[in-house]
Amino acid sequence: MPVTLKTERPVNEEQRRATATAPPGGRWVILALAGLLFAGVLYLGVLEARRSPMEGVSAPSFKLERYLGGSLALEDLRGRVVMLDFWATWCPPCVAEMPSLVKLAREYEPKGLAFVAANRDEGDTARLQVKRFLTKHTPDLAPDIVFADDVTASRYQVRSLPMLYFIDRDGKVLGSYAGLASDSALRKQIEQALAAR
């Protein structure tokens, strides 16, 4: 026995006209256009976020406590390209990108790159949180970690994490990345910075 589909008819005249004039798939076209518009705005936002308002100016100086003891000042790194990453152990994108940053740092350190992992965990538990992070994720990161205070984060306009800055050999900001950056984009930025004299 064949199966017939029951179709509903519009209840009133207004619904009938709306149904008759709506193009087939019209809703999907509108949703697709809205999605494209949203993606475009998001893409432009990412591009804007990656443009540093500090680009070309002297990087704010800092003197920060090292995880392994002692302190590190930006002036100590003069003559090297600095990859300064503001991150936290509770930040999923920070956790995701850290192995890549450490790998790039180790690859390019002999060529003049200095990696500074400026941790933003807060309070008395910051050192303990970092220790747990190192044990679980990237023990090779320990020598690069410093604790970034609120003043330093404010000077570098850190509004979200991760926030990565590149600073040239003379202490000027070359650029920044807000959020995750691809390995290839970071590699390109590092090579350009190291090649500049």
User: What is the CATH number for 141?
Assistant: 3.40.30.10
Q: Do 38 and 74 fall within a single domain?
A: no
DSSP the chain: -------PPPSSHHHHHHHHHSPTTHHHHHHHHHHHHHHHHHHHHHHHHHS-TTTTSBPPP-EEEETTSSEEEGGGGTTSEEEEEEE-TT-HHHHHHHHHHHHHHHHHGGGTEEEEEEE---GGGHHHHHHHHHHHT-GGGGGGEEE--HHHHHHTT--SSSEEEEE-TTSBEEEEEES---HHHHHHHHHHHHH--
Domain count, the chain: 2
- The answer on 82 and 24 residing in a single domain is no
73 and 162: one domain?
yes
pLDDT of the residue at 49: 42
Question: Is 43 in the same domain as 57?
Answer: no
pLDDT value of residue 26: 63
- Whole-number pLDDT of residue 56: 87
Q: In this structure, are 92 and 113 located in the same domain? A: yes
What is the full per-residue pLDDT of the chain (197 aa) written as tens digits? 444 444 455 556 665 555 555 455 666 666 666 656 555 444 444 443 445 668 989 999 999 999 999 999 999 999 999 999 999 999 999 999 999 999 999 999 999 999 999 999 998 899 999 999 999 999 999 999 999 999 999 999 999 999 999 999 999 999 999 998 899 999 999 999 999 87
64 and 121 in a single domain? The answer is yes
Range of the domain at 164: 53-195
Q: Give me the pLDDT at residue 11, please.
A: 54
Q: Do residues 119 and 180 both lie within one domain?
A: yes
Residues 25 and 68 in one domain: no
Which residues are CB-contacts of 137 (< 8 A; sequence separation ≥ 6)? Answer: 95, 98, 99
Judge whether 36 lies within some domain: yes
The verdict on 137 and 97 lying in the same domain is: yes
